[in-house]
Chain A
Amino acid sequence: MISIKSLSVRYKRSGVVALRDVSIDIPSNKVTCILGPNASGKTTLLKAIAQLISYDGVVEVNGRDARGIISELRRMLSYSSTLEELDLLGVTVLDVLVYSRYPASRGFFTSEEDLRRVSEVCERLGLSDLVSRRLGELSAGELQKVVLAAALVKDPKVLLLDEPDSHLDVYSKTWLSSFLREISSRVTIVLSTHDPLFASMTCDYYIVLSRGRVVFTGFHDELLRDTSLLESVYNVSITSISIGGLRVLIPLNQSAYRGKLVRQ
């Protein structure tokens, strides 16, 4: 569905080359994960797909150049990272969700259809009790949920999530993981994360970036077969274990790992 050909991004102000000649295909209706250490170009790649920054190369969506179908893209694709917390401007959770309907909403004022979709998403994500709260009153975890809800209200076909698991506790992470897997049958999801465990719990397809270059693309089993690639990219020990039939990645502190081995 999304196919990227020789994509390069160079930031004009700093002159830093964030992405170099990236060519990948992102499978439809799957959860794709972009892995990589800090400053490897994860956010840049997501923003380039969302047409939020200028780039060299081509991003094709459904076989058409994304640059040519911008207005259609704004309706079908959501990119979400963080929201401005404007407590003193009185922005409530409901406001955020209603405003985020923008490309799908018709007319000047909020329509019945807008409200129906918003309440649908709220119920689905368990936000119904929070709707009249101001953003400044929310906890970091609640805010993260609102960000996800804001990305969903326009009913997108493609969902780009920049670190959706940050600030989440273990329970919420597990919930998020299963939620994303559930909706992935209808929505193509691309997310970036720092957590190998969360990634391996959630995702089908993996793109590993290192210093702006793609060093690996492949499905779950291919990545987990040999963790040495990830170990070299992240420069830590990573092992993969199988729990209940699902193989997941566990990063390990080198010395703690060794100590355990000795004791055994």
Chain B
Amino acid sequence: MAPSITEVLAELSLLDRVVGVDSFSMSDWYLNTSGRLRERSVVDVGGYWWSAIREEEILRLNPDVVLADSGAHKPLQETLESYNVTVVYIHGASARSVNEVLSDIYTIGLVFNETNKASELIGRITSGLNEGFKILRPYNGRRILVVLDFWQGIWVAGRATFIDDVLSRLGLVNAATTYGWSAVSVETVSEWSPDLIIVACSYATNETIREVGLYDPGKPIVLLNSTEVDIISRPGPLIQLVPQVLYAAIERGLGKPVETPTVTTPQATTVTIKENGDHYDHYTGRGSGGYGDESSGSNNNSCSHSSVLYRAIYWLSEEGFLNSKLRLLLVFSILLASTTLPILYTYIVTLNEGLPGRIVVYRLYRALYTILAGTVLAASGCILQASLRNPLVDHYVLGTGSGALFAVYATLLVLDHVTLWIISLAAAIGGLSALAATILIAESISGSDIAYVLSGIGVTSLFSGLLVLLLYYVSSRYGLASLMLTGTFIQSRLENLPYALIAVILVVLGYVVLAKRLNVVMLGDDHAAQLGVDPRLTRLLSSIIAGVSASIIVSQFGVIGFLGLVTPHTARFLLKTSDNRLVIPLAMALGSLLLFTTDTLSRSLVARVVGEVPAGAVISAIGAPFFLVLLVRRFRGGFT
């Protein structure tokens, strides 16, 4: 029940004994497998993954033995065994080394009493690899990165994968240092500094690669065709052919063994070849050490400079300097510092590391966008909380995030050609509709703060469900769509800038126009009206500004939940006031710092171990407990 298993059977001339195979094997080209299976009307039992396997088909066929993949088919074991079907679990497509593949072949030989043929095949594969080592000798020691997919990041073959094993047997070096299959950002890729990137992904095009930003590190990239993808990604007898595929790919990417200018990116290539040895040393020694310093430094730096200021604010409020000009000055200097220092800092650190110019630009965009998105989401949270007089809400709780994302997906699905303009517009409409739905439902229940939370959960669940439904179709056409489910800044490009700026301008306008009015609206509708502030108009404007600005951020960087909930409360706590004229700017500062720090940590620390984790996920992990604490306080505190 895996193409690699079927291929072993074909090699051992055992296809005649097969009664059923998985769906992928039905279209296997190797040794004309699919043709021979069709000829004998072998049954397609579904798969390859266990959840897609039709167990009833297997039971109906009543085979003597089922050859299953221990990685993909373990959940089937009990069912099949309870019907007295013999299942032999081998590594199959889950093999993590060449030896595991070879042991599979031998096991299959044992099962069919064909150990001689199996041994012969094993010998052929081993000598094929040895031969390959000789062929690839000119490229010995080259650092190769194999990219397999673009689903929520760049999926690479790391350590303890059979690709890693094959590469090392062929005298090449796997550039990836992560463990197993993992998703990383373009930045990690550039840090690894591979000599060649091989994209083994059947749906990938130059366009996909550009979107992900894989061209940015300036390394030569070779795209494999679907046959080559099968050869390099299937842990079966096809391994014999890997040296040829790799040789062809490396030749395409790095040029003939004798130094000749290459077609793809001549400049980068020549540089890489010359500096090959240096690069390696730089990476293992100084390079990685410097990187670790950077991330810890980022923490210390941004935290220490702000905590001193916060302590100063705290002290001033305690000492009775409330509403004084000094405090105002402090809040705005913090806002200024927190939005500019991280960018400056990123710039200096990146320059010190001696990374190529493109990476410097990429990191600067990334830092800039975390800051812009942080300020917008924090301000949007403040505005929503004040205008709805509700401490428990932000754009995420109220369903705006998932509504906006749903609209983005729907647009991707309906329109063949989309631009960022259309996507942002759709997101704004979707986000506002979701917000309106939440507010209307909440008002029709009771209008209490809890009603808003419940109604928001309902609307969010509705759109989340639809999102997953759409994702199934959308990600088949746009591999990057799933990136947005949890906000991430892996893709930071110039194209996002106008939209991020529009969102920032919106919230700044909102701040200037609404902050004073929101203060009054917080005290109650009648109170606001008798002071000359129209509470309904203020709420409407606030909802539109907060909803649209948050939706635009969602359309560019995905859903980042709870940031807009945490930051206003922290700002109020630090300032000991609810005054939106002070709370909004401080929350913006906190939001940008929080998002920048999270993203930087995720980029530099976490990415080294498990691959890049979306910043949105980390923020949610911090924000959700905070939300729960608020809920508990809301019910236990004497506040009605």
Chain A residues in the interface with B (C-beta under 8 A): 47, 50, 52, 70-71, 74-75, 77-92, 94-96, 98-100, 102-103, 108-110, 115, 131-132, 136, 150, 154
Contact = CB atoms under 8 A, between A and B. Distances in A.
A71 B639 contact: no
Contacts of A52: 526, 529-530
B482 to A, nearest CB: 35
Contacts of B290: none
Contact of B572 (A74, A75, A90, A96): A90
7 contacts: A71-B532, A81-B527, A82-B524, A90-B576, A94-B577, A132-B576, A136-B638
* Of B323, B529, B576, most A-chain CB atoms within 10 Å: B323
B520 A102 contact: yes
Contacts of A87: 637-639
* Of A71, A87, A110, A132, most B-chain CB atoms within 10 Å: A110
B579 interface: yes
Contacts of B639: 85-88, 136
A71 B531 CA distance: 9
**On chain B, which size bracket covers the interface?**
35 or more
B533 A102 contact: yes
B575 to A, nearest CB: 8
Contacts of B322: 94, 131-132
Contacts of B533: 102
A109 B323 CA distance: 9
* Of A71, A82, A94, A95, most B-chain CB atoms within 10 Å: A95
Contacts of A109: 328, 581
Contact of B573 (A71, A75, A82, A90): A90
Contacts of B577: 90, 92, 94-95
A74 B523 contact: no
Closest 8 CB pairs of A and B: A74-B532, A88-B391, A87-B639, A90-B572, A79-B530, A99-B519, A102-B531, A84-B524
A132 B5 CA distance: 74
A74 B391 CA distance: 29
Contacts of B640: 85
B271 interface: no
A75 B523 CA distance: 17
A88 B633 contact: yes
Interface of B: 322-323, 328, 385-386, 389, 391-392, 512, 515-516, 519-520, 522-524, 526-527, 529-533, 569, 572-573, 576-579, 581, 630, 633-634, 637-640
A84 B447 CA distance: 13
Given A85-B640, A109-B581, A102 B524 contact: no
A104 to B, nearest CB: 9
Given A79-B526, A81-B526, A81-B527, 5 more contacts: A86-B522, A87-B638, A99-B531, A102-B531, A108-B516
A226 B573 CA distance: 57
B578 A91 contact: yes
A135 to B, nearest CB: 9
A83 B638 CA distance: 15
Contact of A89 (B391, B515, B532): B391
B637 A150 contact: no
A85 B523 CA distance: 8
A150 B527 contact: yes
A84 B523 CA distance: 5
A89 B382 CA distance: 10
A74 B526 contact: no
A180 to B, nearest CB: 19
Nearest to A137: B638
Contacts of B532: 70-71, 74-75, 102-103
A195 B34 CA distance: 94
A50 B528 CA distance: 12
B531 A103 contact: yes
Contacts of A100: 520, 523, 527, 531
A77 B572 contact: no
Contact of A98 (B323, B512, B572, B634): B323
A65 B111 CA distance: 101
B227 to A, nearest CB: 62
A71 B529 CA distance: 11
A121 to B, nearest CB: 15
A227 B526 CA distance: 35
